[in-house]
């Protein structure tokens, strides 16, 4: 049983959940900041279930529609579907069940999430098809990932969101999109020759590795600016600023690795550093929300 579970978790790259989930949990905490970031066990469990189901559905769908390309690519030929470790029927069943799980969790959260859940399913699965017809496939993946914090925010607040909160959600979603665009371009460097030979699209294929890396750096530069603006709108203070500077440092290191090291270092830049970015973001948001700005040093005159 443990071996089977490990196989299925590996099939959907469950470890990569660390990219979207921290942003979703951070958005959940901000939406519930009146209660120090805690929406209650029921809402928390349903949000967690919805996020896991959504990502599992999207990844299973990606593996299904890309299975023929994966079999031809030396980097991915050892994946579960090309090697027969997972059957097509099994993968399709997992995709359908996890999609139904997302809709079910959304139904239990609130009507708005339920009505939007089919739209979310289409959006997160559609990305897997975009590499066949557009160079901006990274943007579609970014939009799919950005639905996580928006969904978590709406799961807590429903339709009771203010104009300020909508602005905050849009800023955070835009930052997530640009963050994803930047690191997905770096990840796509590994498949540059294969994608070009097989007619698959990406900005790396369209612009070449050097120009694509410049676009990735610009994307991350704007992302850092949006995250800073987001923190200001949320009235975050010292903890957020310190964490933001750490995130900027991770982004700079990621691009240094992408430019100075061989392709075998891409996984370090792609997975480890970006996992740190999302985890740090969650930690600093929780610190600000839970302590309600308590990291701000207040000075009071003697005798006041």
User: What is the mean pLDDT of the segment spanning 2-14?
Assistant: 80
* 214 phi, psi to nearest 5 deg: -65, -40
**Torsion on CA atoms 80, 85, 90, 91, rounded to nearest 10:** 0
Q: Is 119 exposed, middle or buried (0-12, 13-18, 19+ CB in 10 A)?
A: exposed
Position 261 scores a pLDDT of 67
Q: What are the pLDDT digits (tens) for 108-134?
A: 999 999 999 999 999 999 999 999 999
pTM (two decimals): 0.91
Position 8 scores a pLDDT of 81
Give the residue with greater pLDDT, 291 vs 22. 22
Band of pLDDT at residue 302, cut at 50, 70 and 90: very low
| Highest mean predicted confidence (pLDDT) among 14-23, 198-207, 264-273 | 198-207
Q: What are the pLDDT digits (tens) for 140-154?
A: 999 999 999 999 999
Q: What are the pLDDT digits (tens) for 249-263?
A: 999 998 988 887 666
Tell whether the model's pLDDT for residue 137 goes beyond 70: yes
Q: First and final CA of the chain: distance in angstroms?
A: 65
Position 159 scores a pLDDT of 94
Give the residue with greater pLDDT, 131 vs 265. 131
Per-residue b or e along 236-247, where b marks 16 or more CB atoms closer than 10 Å to that residue's CB:
bbebbbebbebb
CA distance 235 to 180: 25
Q: How many CB atoms lie within 10 A of CB 70?
A: 19
Tell whether the model's pLDDT for residue 293 goes beyond 70: no
Give the residue with greater pLDDT, 241 vs 6. 241
Position 303 scores a pLDDT of 45
The token pair at 99 is 């999609």
Position 299 scores a pLDDT of 42
User: What is the mean pLDDT of the segment spanning 212-224?
Assistant: 96
CB 137 within 8 A of CB 185: no
CB 215 within 8 A of CB 177: no
Q: In the chain, which residue ranges form alpha helices assigned H by DSSP?
A: 2-11, 17-31, 41-65, 67-72, 80-83, 88-109, 111-130, 137-157, 163-188, 192-197, 203-207, 209-233, 238-260, 266-267, 273-291
CA distance 58 to 43: 22
Length of the chain: 304
């Amino acid at each position: 049983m443990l071996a089977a579970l490990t196989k299925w978790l590996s099939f959907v790259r469950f470890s990569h959940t660390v990219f979207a989930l921290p942003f979703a949990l951070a958005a959940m905490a901000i939406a519930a900041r009146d209660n120090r970031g805690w929406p209650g066990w029921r809402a928390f469990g349903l949000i967690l279930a919805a996020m896991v189901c959504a990502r599992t559905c999207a990844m299973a769908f990606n593996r299904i529609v890309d299975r023929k390309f994966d079999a031809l690519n030396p980097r991915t030929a050892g994946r579960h579907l090309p090697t027969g470790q997972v059957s097509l029927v099994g993968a399709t069943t997992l995709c359908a069940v996890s999609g139904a799980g997302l809709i079910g969790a959304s139904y239990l959260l609130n009507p708005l999430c339920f009505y939007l859940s089919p739209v979310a399913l289409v959006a997160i699965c559609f990305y897997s098809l975009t590499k066949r017809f557009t160079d901006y496939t990274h943007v579609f993946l970014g939009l799919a990932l950005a639905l996580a914090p928006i969904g978590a925010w709406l799961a807590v607040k429903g339709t009771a969101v203010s104009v300020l909160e909508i602005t905050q959600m849009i800023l955070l979603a835009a930052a997530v999109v640009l963050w994803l665009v930047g690191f997905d371009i770096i990840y796509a460097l590994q498949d540059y020759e294969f994608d070009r030979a097989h007619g698959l699209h990406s900005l790396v294929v369209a612009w070449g590795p050097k120009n694509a890396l410049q676009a990735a750096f610009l994307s991350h530069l704007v992302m850092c600016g949006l995250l800073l603006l987001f923190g200001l709108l949320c009235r975050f203070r010292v903890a957020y600023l310190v964490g933001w500077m750490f995130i900027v440092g991770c982004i700079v290191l990621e691009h240094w690795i992408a430019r100075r090291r061989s392709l075998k270092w891409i996984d370090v830049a792609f997975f480890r550093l970006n996992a740190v970015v999302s985890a740090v973001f969650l930690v600093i948001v929780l610190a600000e929300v839970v302590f309600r700005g308590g990291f701000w040093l207040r000075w009071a005159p003697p005798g006041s």
